[in-house]
Amino acid sequence: MEQDSHRDVYRIAYDEAFSELRDILREFEQLYARKDRVERVVEALSQEIGSQCQVVVPNHRPRTRRRVHIAVTRSTFV
């Protein structure tokens, strides 16, 4: 009986952590898309302005289509 109550507590904690992880991943994807849009705007503006202004983006790497995929699976508690 005591093991079942621990299992319930672990299940609740696991479900909560799983939900938070999904929220974090969703937020990360939104921020990554926003970053990509800002980089495109900077590129477009730097081409439009030309040599009149130098645009410096700290830690700027060439834009590549890189997505982070994290496999999130749910375990089944017996």
The pTM of the full predicted model, rounded to 2 decimals, is: 0.54
Q: Would you state the pLDDT for residue 44?
A: 86
> Domain coordinates of the chain in residue numbers?
1-78
Alpha carbon distance 15, 23 (integer Å)? 12
Query: What confidence tens digit (pLDDT) does each residue in 40-64 have?
Result: 998 888 887 775 555 555 665 555 5
Query: What confidence tens digit (pLDDT) does each residue in 3-35 have?
Result: 778 899 999 999 999 999 999 999 999 999 999
